[in-house]
């Protein structure tokens, strides 16, 4: 039997070390993946990067070209289970840059006709319930089913998600996909994605950046809204909340035989192994307990599969992606996953499209709105009711917490991409003979490929990352021909004297025997080493000028000391790594980069942390912290230019990390929207597990424990938009549901 996709060879320690070196500060080590999934169980990722831009994906691609790492792309994590031992590879999560929505607007039509194309564009990180509601709100129909599916657009395209008689394949026109192993992105038509019932040809190395859907205009908006309400009602009545990943098994006969009915038929509701059990509410849901084991969930899955096979003959296929599980430790785990192999006709076809894109014309994808191309996120004005927010929290099980580690990927400066436009010649029809392969080595386009696999669809655009290696092969048998120069007729006397001498020397060298050539080669090496030593010792390449950029709060004495230590050293051999480490010992300095340039210059670029808040210690001195809760400095007096966190905290020294509550308060201060920030008087921390916010009107907002702060803040903002803040005494969002006292 072929190995399922989810069972990838774990990376070796050597591969992980090399990857860490190549990624540098972009990567974080041993990051918990439970926080990124709705099951909320499982171990850590050996490496983790939070992607904030396309440039970050290009940087990842460049490293994957050098290190063979298993990759795990995580969207919302609503269809994934991580092994208790973690994932020995690179896990990728995403920031907000793929959360854009571009919907058509027929209200702009003066005649109120329905001639505006109902084409919608959604970024890969947009939540399906949000996409569904916004579509209905804009008068579109055909995507109502999405309100009942916890996941993102990207995940929905990969697994062809659906429900209530429809799926994303029914309206998908195309998807924008980034290929992590090739460093290219392409616009792929839906027909080339290999979409099938709860699956596609999209693999772990593909990232869905966006999806274009062809919906329909609704002639009765109220009917569409009622359908959304019915789906939500049905979900609440028939599907459990808590820690799960939705339906576990694919229906063996779509529309006729459901996996849940088969499991119910053999009486397995409530069946338990350890910390996992089959839901009493829906037999195709497996619940995990808080602090439970992923291995228990998988063993319940395996037992369901075995019993259903024995009793009914149906071989259930898992909808859930298992990541990090080792089948060699427990071979029965292999049977839990689908037996489809990594390679299918659809997979090969999709890969072929990227092959063709690497050598075809490049143009801007007109399906992406101008606001996205210019990095200005376009979002429809959202006036989300509180009950909708409650609903989304129920769907996603409070899986996101801003207080948990959120690694940030640094911007990429050493990897460049360029767009290349090449004319596409019409195919020749006179000859049927297969052409010989011709590879043209070009520094600007270094990834030649060939394929005779047929494809009906070519990419419209591609961004090429220079990830392939150039190889030069030298053959001694043809060396003479390569070094020969032919002089015809009387041209010899017109050749410069130096050129004649060079020609004679070259001829003697080429015509000599191997011993002479070896002697000459050795002599050349000795001369080169001697010249190098002379240059290194020369004062010409000694560092004379050190320029510092970005230093505002950093310790000026430290910066000056590091600068002085570099002066006089050879610009070719100066130890910039030690100097960089010295600079980064300053809590104010998040990262430092030192570059040298001939003949005698050094540039120090400093990236400082941003102070956002402060609190008093027991010693009555102020601790200034950044959004990560790191104490940047300890000062006398009150630094009122930053947000005050009321309460008495510990006597931390500069460089120390504060408790989770202070870290969450710092992130809250950093995240306050412009409409709310002027209203805030100060924040507060009571004990270690309660965060408050006091407004200038005297209104006290209780956030409770430092978890799910983003949704709590959204609740507060929406509530203050609807009510007069002057009439509110307090707002309690500690439980997730706002409670207002007027």
Q: Is 493 a catalytic residue?
A: no
| pLDDT value for 32 | 94
Q: Is 319 a catalytic residue?
A: yes
Tokens standing for 274? Answer: 């350890």
- CB neighbours of 48 closer than 8 A, spacing ≥ 6? 27, 28, 29, 31, 33, 90, 91, 92, 93, 407
| pLDDT value for 528 | 74
More confident residue, 351 or 722: 722
Judge whether 691 and 706 are in contact, CB under 8 Å: yes
695, 686, 633, 626: which is closest to 661 by C-alpha?
Answer: 686
Secondary structure of residue 172 in the 3-state scheme? strand
Tell me whether the omega of the peptide bond preceding residue 599 falls within 30 degrees of 0, making it cis: yes
Say if residue 275's pLDDT is above 80: yes
Q: How many angstroms separate the CA atoms of 246 and 26, rounded?
A: 33
Tens of pLDDT, residues 231-245: 888 888 888 888 998
Q: Is 198 a catalytic residue?
A: yes
| pLDDT value for 388 | 54
Rank 360-364, 378-382, 530-534 by mean pLDDT and report only the highest: 530-534
Q: How many angstroms separate the CA atoms of 188 and 201, rounded?
A: 12
The active-site residue out of 99, 144, 185, 319 is 319
Tens of pLDDT, residues 634-643: 988 888 889 9
Phi, psi dihedrals of residue 697, rounded to the nearest 5°: -80, -5
Say if residue 121's pLDDT is above 90: yes
Secondary structure of residue 4 in the 3-state scheme? coil
β-pair partners for 72: 91
Return the minimum-mean-pLDDT range out of 107-121, 211-225, 403-417, 657-671: 403-417
249: Cα separation from own chain's centroid: 27
More confident residue, 392 or 54: 54
Q: How crowded is residue 688: how many other Cβ atoms within 10 Å of its Cβ?
A: 12
pTM: 0.51
Tens of pLDDT, residues 43-81: 999 999 999 999 899 999 999 999 989 999 999 888 899
Largest CA distance in the chain: 105
| pLDDT value for 220 | 81
Say if residue 535's pLDDT is above 50: yes
Tokens standing for 718? Answer: 């929406």
How many helices (H) does the chain have, and how many strands (E)?
18, 32
Phi, psi dihedrals of residue 225, rounded to the nearest 5°: -65, -40
Tens of pLDDT, residues 169-183: 889 999 999 999 888
Tens of pLDDT, residues 568-581: 888 878 888 999 99
When pLDDT is cut at 50, 70 and 90, the band that residue 533 belongs to is low
When pLDDT is cut at 50, 70 and 90, the band that residue 330 belongs to is low
- CB neighbours of 336 closer than 8 A, spacing ≥ 6? 298, 301, 302, 305, 318, 322
Alpha-helical segments (H) within 76-201: 128-137, 153-159
Judge whether 693 and 683 are in contact, CB under 8 Å: yes
285, 287, 267: which is closest to 277 by C-alpha?
Answer: 287
Q: Which secondary structure element, helix H or strand E, spans residue 381, and what is its range?
A: none
Q: How many angstroms separate the CA atoms of 447 and 454, rounded?
A: 20
Q: Computed over its alpha carbons, how large is the radius of gyration of the chain? A: 31
Q: What strands lie across the sheet with 272-273, from one edge to the other?
A: 272-273, 276-278, 286-288
578, 574, 685: which is closest to 629 by C-alpha?
Answer: 685
Judge whether 214 and 197 are in contact, CB under 8 Å: no
The active-site residue out of 61, 135, 210, 247 is 247
Say if residue 309's pLDDT is above 80: yes
Domains and CATH numbers, the chain: 476-537 (no CATH), 539-608 (3.10.20.310), 611-741 (3.40.50)
Tokens standing for 652? Answer: 């931390």
Q: How crowded is residue 79: how many other Cβ atoms within 10 Å of its Cβ?
A: 27
DSSP character for 377?
-
Q: How many angstroms separate the CA atoms of 78 and 149, rounded?
A: 9
| pLDDT value for 364 | 39
The active-site residue out of 40, 133, 182, 198 is 198
């Amino acid at each position: 039997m072929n190995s399922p996709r989810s069972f990838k060879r774990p990376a070796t320690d050597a591969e992980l070390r090399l990857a860490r070196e190549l990624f540098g500060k972009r990567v974080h080590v041993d990051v918990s993946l439970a926080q990124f999934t709705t099951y909320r169980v499982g171990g850590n990722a050996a490496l983790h990067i939070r992607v904030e831009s396309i440039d970050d994906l290009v940087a990842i691609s460049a490293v994957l070209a050098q290190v063979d790492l298993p990759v795990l792309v995580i969207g919302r994590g609503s269809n994934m289970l991580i092994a208790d031992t973690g994932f020995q590879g690179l896990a990728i999560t995403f920031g907000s840059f793929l959360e854009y929505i571009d919907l058509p607007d027929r209200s702009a039509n003066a005649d109120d006709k329905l001639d505006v194309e109902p084409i919608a564009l959604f970024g890969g990180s947009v939540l399906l319930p949000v996409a569904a509601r916004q579509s209905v709100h804009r008068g579109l129909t055909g995507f109502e089913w999405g309100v009942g599916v916890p996941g993102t657009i990207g995940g929905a395209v990969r697994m062809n998600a659906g429900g209530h008689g429809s799926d994303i394949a029914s309206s998908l026109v195309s998807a924008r996909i980034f290929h992590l192993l090739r460093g290219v992105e392409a616009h792929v038509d839906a027909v080339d994605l290999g979409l099938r019932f709860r699956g596609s040809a999209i693999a772990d190395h593909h990232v869905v950046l966006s999806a274009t859907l062809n919906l329909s205009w609704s002639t009765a908006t109220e009917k569409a809204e009622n359908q959304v309400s019915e789906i939500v009602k049905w979900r609440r009545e028939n599907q459990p909340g808590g820690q799960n990943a939705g339906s576990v098994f694919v229906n063996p006969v779509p529309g006729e035989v459901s996996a849940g009915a088969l499991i119910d038929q053999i009486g397995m509701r409530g069946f338990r192994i350890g910390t996992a059990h089959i839901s009493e509410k829906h037999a195709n849901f497996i619940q995990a307990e808080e602090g439970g084991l992923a291995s228990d969930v998988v063993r319940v899955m395996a037992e369901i599969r075995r019993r259903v096979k024995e009793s009914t003959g149906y071989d259930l296929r898992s909808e859930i992606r298992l990541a990090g599980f080792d089948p060699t430790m427990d071979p029965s785990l292999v049977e839990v996953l689908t037996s489809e192999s990594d390679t299918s006709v659809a997979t090969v076809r999709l890969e072929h499209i990227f092959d063709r894109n690497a050598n075809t014309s490049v143009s801007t994808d007109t399906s992406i709105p101008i606001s996205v191309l210019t990095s200005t996120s376009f979002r429809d004005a959202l006036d989300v009711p509180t009950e909708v927010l409650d609903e989304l929290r129920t769907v996603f099980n409070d899986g996101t917490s801003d207080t948990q580690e959120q690694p940030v990927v640094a911007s990429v400066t050493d990897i460049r991409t360029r767009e290349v436009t090449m004319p596409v010649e019409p195919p020749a029809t006179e000859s049927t003979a297969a052409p010989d392969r011709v590879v043209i080595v070009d520094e600007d386009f270094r990834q030649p490929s060939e394929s005779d696999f047929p494809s009906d669809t070519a990419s419209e655009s591609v961004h090429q990352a220079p990830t392939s290696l150039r190889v030069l092969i030298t053959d001694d048998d043809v060396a003479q021909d390569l070094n020969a120069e032919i002089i015809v007729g009387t041209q010899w006397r017109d050749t410069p004297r130096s050129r004649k001498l060079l020609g004679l020397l070259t001829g003697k060298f080429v015509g000599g025997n191997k011993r002479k050539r070896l002697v000459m080669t050795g002599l050349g090496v000795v001369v080169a080493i001697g010249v190098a030593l002379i240059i290194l010792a020369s004062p010409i390449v000694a560092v004379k000028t050190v320029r510092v950029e970005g230093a505002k709060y950093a310790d000026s004495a430290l910066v000056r000391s590091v600068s002085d230590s570099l002066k006089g050293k050879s610009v070719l051999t100066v130890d910039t790594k030690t100097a960089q480490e010295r600079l980064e010992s300053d809590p104010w300095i998040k990262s430092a980069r030192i570059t040298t340039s001939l003949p005698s210059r050094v540039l120090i670029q400093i990236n400082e942390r941003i102070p956002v808040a402060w609190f008093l210690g027991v010693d009555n001195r102020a601790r200034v912290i950044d959004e990560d809760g790191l104490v940047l400095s300890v000062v006398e007096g009150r630094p009122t230019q930053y947000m005050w966190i009321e309460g008495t905290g510990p006597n931390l020294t500069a460089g120390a990390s504060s408790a989770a509550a202070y870290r969450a308060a710092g992130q809250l201060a950093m995240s306050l929207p412009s409409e709310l920030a002027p209203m805030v008087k100060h924040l507060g921390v009571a004990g270690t597990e309660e965060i408050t916010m006091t407004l200038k009107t005297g209104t006290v907002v209780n956030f409770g424990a430092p978890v799910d702060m983003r949704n709590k803040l959204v609740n507060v903002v929406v509530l203050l938009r609807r009510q007069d803040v002057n009439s509110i005494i307090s707002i309690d969002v500690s439980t997730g549901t706002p409670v207002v006292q007027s």
